[in-house]
Structure 1
Amino acid sequence: MIDAANAIQLIFAFTAMFGIILVWPSTRFRPLSLALLMEASLMLCNFAEESGLSQQLWGETLITPIFGLGFGPALFLFTRGLVFSNKGLAFDQAIHFLPMLLVFSLAAMPQLIIALGTISLVVYLSLCWKLMRDYEQASRDRRSDAQNLTLTWLKLVLILYITAIAVDAIRQNLQTELPISILEPWYIATLLVYLGLCCFLIYKGVHQPELFDGLEQYQKEALEALDPPLDETANSLFEQINKQLLEQKLYRTPRLSLSDLSEHTGLTEKDISWAINQGGGQSFADYINRLRIDEICEEIRYNDNRSLLDLALAAGFNSKSSFNTVFKRMTGKTPSQFQKEALN
């Protein structure tokens, strides 16, 4: 007889398999298919072991702990696929899952496998976090709209996933201490959390967020020697760039990128980035957005009759939410608070 947990496992498995079909057309989200396949396989194996079907198929051996060695690599490859525009699925990525095959010989020691899986997960999640940090730094250094390209949603998913794993580990360790009336709802709640995270990732794969495409070039330039121009210092070159930006109001260009500025100034992207970082002491996104905020603040002080949104759009912001976020971060006040104080 199928209980509530078994029903959720089957729903989870078929949701994940349907999700694979939905996200597969997207190259950048295609690695998510591996994570979804892992989840679907795990849920089916859980169902088989808990319903007794596994005894007819593969005997008394528990194989579900082995999946713990696969979730870390799957999440890492998914993250790498998002932050790099040219990374999809490749055959050589299968090496990340080799430990799953190697521990089959240790299937009789599930606690050891669980421990190895935990270590693997910690290592791969650390790599995921580094990739996201590099991605966000690169977007800030090359795009003025970097705040629209963040992977905050993915960070939240990873945090919730880690939390769910930790809570479920506590449940497993207390199985001999707590009554089934507590353990069963606890297990069902954990399954629902995992199912919710899975559905959210599928949603993101279908309704793709805007992503930054320049991490490969950013890393390539970081490996090269950043030789300063022969006749200019960082400060003087920055002043030259700043003067041209202010005179031509180039910062008003929505979604202004480092490559756009390179076309306008005739300087290389590398030299512009070097000048802004070293001479200006800030990232490209912070620099451009500071110019926009300064203009808006001046317009507010001169009692411009336009709405705050109109001022923001005229200054180069492409959405109300990004304008509000940047304004609060740079001034410590919301736009409406600043306007109210400036006009009093």
Structure 2
Amino acid sequence: MNTSELNSFIVILIYGSLVLLSLLKIANPLKVNRKANFCFGIFLFLWSSFWMDEVLFLITGSAVEFHSLFLVKLIQYFTPIFFYFSILFYTNPSFTFKITDLKFLILPIVFLGCLIGLALGYKDPFDSLSIILILVQALFYTGLSYITIRKHQKKIQQFSSNTEGINLNWLEYIILVLLAVNIIYVIYNLFYDPKSLNFFINAVFLLVIYCVGYYSLKQKEIYPLEEKQRQELISIDEEQDSEDVKKKLIPDEELVRIKTQLETVMITEKPYLDSELNLIKLAELLSVSTHHLSYVINTGFGKNFFQYINEFRVEYAKILLRKDSKLSILGIAYESGFNSKTSFNTTFKKLTGQTPSEFKK
């Protein structure tokens, strides 16, 4: 099998994988992250259409310019928008569209105008403008998606003690990889024959698609399914990003009381050993509201929930590491309340400057 035949095989795998994965995400048999998975499924289906020209050529044996059709061009232009929408719903499942969100249609409307101009035979300047709009749209929503994920990774530390599995790291890495691949392709296109790079680009895309499939299908629900609890956590997130968080939610006397109560509970009952501990569970244990508890941890201790809980876990792990225990490093991680060896190693080194193995030695 020569390079050309291998590239054709990869193209078929890319198209088939994207279409299958899009159907799985839209059907969503596990019923998790429903709105996010639906938008992500639409994004994957639109993404698959970029290989339709090559697939149709392999089927018919003649060049079919599917990609150049007016309606196809317009629909494909929404690809990065649907990717961004899926990020919005992953990070805030209660997000609802408002009148102000009609701003998302500004670039597509301008692009539609360019397509109409091209259809009427005005190649210049609409041809160049349409290419610029495609690049602007892709870069803008890619950047916006990346920023949204980074903000999300900070927000979930306000209510979750174990962020692994809900931090959307896989989407962040995929954005960076795709951005790097596209930059390489553009630079190569300017100086060399882009066709010679097709095999490499398609091979990378295929690997990315398999990674997307693996991580997206194992992505669990980020927020609680119960609507009241979900709204509580989302509203706390919003407060942390606003000026209102600087205002006193409770009097100083009440802050000191809850702070003392919290310290007592952490020492006597050791709730941090529960790997699924979150702000809601701890608030119920103290019989206080999640808003007040979040305020006490942020203001009274100068830390977020994630930092506060994991400091206790690391201290407990130190005790187990000092003992002549038969427990492995993974066993100590689980005993201390961590849900994986990776998160244990990362958190332990961040707080102590050493890995658990180094500390034990």
Structure 1 letter corresponding to 2:283: S
Distance 1:15 1:311 in 2: 40
Task: Give matches, 1:97-108, under 5 Å.
Answer: 97-107=108-118, 108=123
- Structure 2 residues not aligned, in runs of 5+: 29-33, 225-229
Q: 1:172 aligned to 2:189? A: yes
- Structure 1 match to 2:177: 160
Tell whether the 8 Å contact from 1:141 to 1:284 is kept in structure 2 after alignment: yes
Q: Is the 8 A contact 1:290 1:330 kept in 2?
A: yes
- Structure 1 residues 245-254 or 277-286, which shifts more? 245-254
Question: 2: distance between equivalents of 1:35 and 1:168?
Answer: 21
RMSD: 3.4
Secondary structure in 2 aligned to 1:228? coil
Indicate if the aligned counterparts of 2:46 and 2:76 stay in contact, CA closer than 8 A. no
Q: How does 1:1-344 map to 2 (within 5 A)?
A: 4=5, 8-26=10-28, 27=34, 28-45=36-53, 51-54=62-65, 69-86=77-94, 95=105, 97-107=108-118, 108=123, 109-174=126-191, 178=192, 183-209=194-220, 211-213=222-224, 214=230, 216-222=234-240, 225-226=244-245, 227-232=248-253, 234=255, 237-304=258-325, 306-340=327-361
More off after superposition, 225-234 vs 45-54: 45-54
Distance (whole Å) between structure 2 residues aligned to residue 197 and residue 82 of structure 1: 20
Q: CA deviation at 1:189?
A: 1.3
Give CA-to-partner distance per residue, 1:213-237, whole Å, 9 cap, x none. 5563334545694533125265664
Shift of 1:81: 2.8
Deviation at 1:264, TM superposition (A): 0.6
Distance 1:13 1:269, change over 3 A: same
In structure 1, how many angstroms separate the alpha carbons of the residues matched to 2:95 and 2:135? 26
Distance 1:133 1:233, change over 3 A: farther
What's the offset of the Cα at 1:157? 0.2
Q: Are the structure 2 counterparts of residues 299 and 206 from structure 1 closer, same or farther at C-alpha, using a change threshold of 3 Å?
A: closer
Mapped contact 1:66–1:113 kept (Cα < 8 A): no
CA contact (8 A) 2:158 2:237 kept: no
Judging changes above 3 Å, is the alpha-carbon distance between structure 1 residues 163 and 310 closer, same or farther for their aligned structure 2 residues? closer
2-structure distance, mates of 1:286, 1:233 = 22
Contact map agreement 2:53 2:63 (CA 8 A) in 1: no
- For structure 1, which runs of at least 5 residues remain unmatched after alignment? none
Q: How far apart, in 1, do the equivalents of 2:270 and 2:322 lie?
A: 19
**In 2: Cα distance, 1:127 partner to 1:68 partner:** 19
2:31 matched residue in structure 1? none
Residue identity (%): 20
